[in-house]
Structure 1
């Protein structure tokens, strides 16, 4: 796992996952009958949306050779190098709402988002 010691000696992962997000993802992985020891949540950035970039997430059975792999709260997260430059420092959380619930990426690199919140620009 990659870490950053810029905060006074403590190491911080380049991508953080909240405990709630990890629990939700692990529950979904289990429901898909995937091995939670090897499989994980792939977080990526793709071209699209009115602001230019959008997030994508899916489950993968194992990381690709050049992926960064982060493990927190029992969940493995896979990020490819091209996506990492856009989402480094982000926190993956799970939001519970009255009308919708789902994973949310809190990205400190975003300078603007589209009106619907589905895409962003760094």
Structure 2
């Protein structure tokens, strides 16, 4: 593989900020989950006015085809089908006067709906 091909290859993981990891770990512990085995599942699903939308949930354990990464103590599970849409993304947590919640910064997005809930790659 040439170095140019390696540079243009799609990213194979999702980054998670320290703020997002801390919030997710707090929520998981509040639900009595084992943070050493379970994790945050980030996925893409059909829906929304732009065609695709993000989904998140806590899972007790990963699935067989998951990409498993750890960020600031948080295990993150992404299935292989979703990874092609969100590889290279960054998951952040915002806590402010205007908005509070998790936000995905996805470099693969070519357009988003007006509310930012769905996207197209």
Answer whether TM exceeds 0.5 for this pair: yes
- Cα distance in 2 between the residues matched to 1:92 and 1:14: 11
The structure that is helix-richer by fraction is 2
Which residue of structure 2 lines up, in the alignment, with residue 23 of structure 1? Answer: 22
Alignment gaps of 5+ in structure 1:
1-5
What TM-score do the two structures reach when normalised by structure 2?
Answer: 0.89
What TM-score do the two structures reach when normalised by structure 1?
Answer: 0.88
The structure that is strand-richer by fraction is 1
- Cα distance in 1 between the residues matched to 2:88 and 2:81: 14
Instruction: List aligned pairs for 1:1-122, cutoff 5 A.
Output: 14-122=13-121
Question: Alpha-carbon deviation of 1:100?
Answer: 2.8
The C-alpha deviation readout for 1:11-50, integer Å capped at 9, x for no partner, is x972100001000000000000000000100000000000
Which runs of at least 4 in structure 1 moved beyond 2 Å after TM superposition? none
Cα 1:13/1:73, change in 2 over 3 Å: farther
- Cα distance in 2 between the residues matched to 1:111 and 1:97: 27
Alignment gaps of 5+ in structure 2:
1-5
Find the residue that maps to 2:19 and give its secondary structure: helix
